[in-house]
Amino acid sequence: MRDFRVLEPKSLLNYALVGSPNSGKTTLFNALTGMRAKTGNYPGVTVDRRVGSLEVDGHCVQITDLPGSYSLQAISEEEQVTSGYLRGELGDNNLDGIIFVADATSLSRSLPFLLSILNLNIPIILVCTMIDECKARGGDIDFFRLKAELGIPVVGVVGNKGLGITDLKQFFIDPHSWKTTSVPSFDSIEKRFEWADKIFNKVLRHPISESNLTRQIDRILLHPVLGLIVFLAFISIFFQSIFTWAAPAMDLFSEWVSQFANYCAAALPPGFWTNLLCDGIIRGVGAVLVFVPQIAVLFTLIFFFEASGYMARAAFVIDRLMGWAGLEGRCFISLLSSYACAVPGIMATRSIPSPRDRLATILVAPFTTCSARLPVYAVLISAFIPDATLWGPFTLQGLTLMALYLLGGVSAIVFAAIFKHGLLRGASLPFFLELPPYRFPSFKTIVVQVVDRLKVFVKDAGSVILVGSIVLWLLLNFPHHEYNDTLTKTQNKQQQIEQSYAADLGHSLEPIFDPLGFDWKINIGIIGSFAARELMISTMAQVYAVEKDADNFVGFAKVLSQEDENGVRPISFASAMSLLVFFVYALLCLSTVAVVKRETNSWRWPIFMLTYMFAVAWVASFITYRLALA
């Protein structure tokens, strides 16, 4: 039992937000605090605790959003965080009360968890979310009777519309008024569920009907064959959209970057600092930020299908395929998150209860094609794959992009199977997943989520790219080569690059990468991509595009696609295909290495990942290069 503080006016009130996954907990957290946390329809969305604050009648209220959990008997790591926090095992939390969140449409499933928390003897308030959806499905819950049966305050809200939020905030002022009734303590889970059913039957005036439309849709989406066909069609449209929808915005942004760099070059006096600003910073950073529209489309589609309820069903369908690899559906959720970025995808593996399954997922997550690879794919596909329409909206370029994504995903499953049947052999835990009802996503919520992700990309990746672009420009321009009046401007630039420190680094790697068709210029880009994969493009732009004075993304792609007077391209088709495959497999991301070290608490597995993924990338690229030459 905990001791509670005597509150003074304007004191800090500390609450924990608790609930099962898909209960609307994080949406309520956003509505209360104004903070923007990722929301979705499957376990593993909120992995770390998130803290927000608000002021109510002069009191500062702090709310901790705990990971979604089904019970205090923790299985997964995220459930251990919730259980440990509520039991006071994660430091001095000084909890004044608990805000327990339950979905009104599935209240009976949340009551057993609520009973176990009531036994902690901490002031608690029950918040029933999605009451509008409950009423729309014919349900009618007697909240006054529910309050009397539980002996605690009960509030109904609609988090995404702000309904009931004001009434809820008034309860935060005095948590000691939340009377906690004496509740039974059951040793068996069966008796706990019997108690929950008894309470639920007392307060339910009209039953909540299941939508006929939901049943009909699920007959298709959850079908062993039809569901897989729909999933493959979904993936096809998904990646086709990423490549085609963002193209106009990318071209426009690329032109703006070019015009701005030219304007600065004309307005500023010629010299070292002007060249650094225009060529190193503006064009270097701009060559990567031009892909923001593609990344925006990627995140928009992911968040839309998460919020709609389809993503959980995709995990259910793909669970059969994951089972072949010795994994379960929750692993698919982490792998799918890695398609945006491997870092949050690896962190999301905390929701996987089996340590072996979790480690296997971590080891293969970087195979999935993260958004940082998009710039490399987009440039090489635009330059070497014809923009031909094959059927309807499907183009050869879009299908090539999809093939690269699928290659990474299939490889992840194959290597997971190898690890699970060899290095990490062991029994898996049962897989269960709550299928949320279909919902039309909130446009505002999706926009907020996409903007937040883009801010993270621009801030985190942009800062690394800025430093990397400056360092790269210095390596390309030193030691300084004296300007030769007998040569053209382009020839002088090319001679400067060939005699630079960067060229020396590129040549030193030729024994390793020459069998893959990579010359010293591509090697420079690979070096830069270890800091950030996106740097590959700004590097290649500075090294290759200078030959034709191309100063934007469109011009750079054209440079790679054009032949010189001898009929030779800057990069051959075989080398380009080899480079694409290399980027599918190679672990070129220091952030991923760092997060794997943190999640495994050892350098053993990051070093193992770097080694085996480089070996796979080298062999696959070598085979691709030889086949392309044949």
Give the end of a domain, one of 209, 238, 253.
Answer: 209
User: How many domains does the chain contain in total?
Assistant: 2
* Structural domain boundaries enclosing 41: 12-209
Residue 38 pLDDT class (50, 70, 90 cuts): very low
Is 586 domain-assigned? Answer: no
Other C-beta atoms lying within 10 Å of the C-beta of residue 169 = 17
CA nearest 357: which of 419, 433, 313?
A: 419
Residue 64 has pLDDT above 70, yes or no: yes
The overall average pLDDT reported for the chain is: 81
Report phi then psi at 340, rounded to 5: -85, -50
Residue of 20 and 179 predicted with greater confidence:
20
Give the end of a domain, one of 571, 606, 624.
Answer: 571
**SS3 annotation, 483-500:** CCCCCCHHHHHHHHHHCC
Query: For residue 10, what pLDDT is reported?
Result: 46
Query: For residue 42, what pLDDT is reported?
Result: 32
Query: For residue 180, what pLDDT is reported?
Result: 63
Is 182 domain-assigned? Answer: yes
Is 375 domain-assigned? Answer: no
Kind and range of the H or E element at 535? helix 535-544
Q: pLDDT of 432-443, one tens digit each?
A: 677 877 888 878
- Tell me how far apart the alpha carbons of residues 315 and 331 are, in angstroms, rounded to a whole number: 9
Residue 44 has pLDDT above 70, yes or no: no
Residue 364 pLDDT class (50, 70, 90 cuts): very high
Residue of 61 and 255 predicted with greater confidence:
61
Q: pLDDT of 278-329, one tens digit each?
A: 877 887 677 667 768 877 887 788 788 888 888 888 888 887 777 777 777 7
Is 495 domain-assigned? Answer: yes
Q: pLDDT of 125-153, one tens digit each?
A: 999 999 988 888 888 999 999 998 888 99
pTM: 0.69
Is 86 domain-assigned? Answer: yes
Mean pLDDT of 550-574: 73
Is 279 domain-assigned? Answer: no
Query: For residue 610, what pLDDT is reported?
Result: 93
Q: pLDDT of 218-265, one tens digit each?
A: 999 999 899 989 988 887 777 677 667 877 887 788 788 888 988 998
Q: pLDDT of 493-546, one tens digit each?
A: 778 788 888 889 999 999 999 999 999 989 988 887 876 677 787 777 777 755
Is 140 domain-assigned? Answer: yes
Residue 430 pLDDT class (50, 70, 90 cuts): low
Q: How far is CA 569 from CA 4, 337, 565, 576, 578, in A?
A: 74, 37, 10, 11, 15
Is 583 domain-assigned? Answer: no
Which CATH number do you get for residue 80?
Answer: 3.40.50.300
Q: pLDDT of 85-108, one tens digit each?
A: 888 876 556 888 999 999 998 888
Give the end of a domain, one of 159, 193, 209.
Answer: 209
Residue 2 has pLDDT above 60, yes or no: no
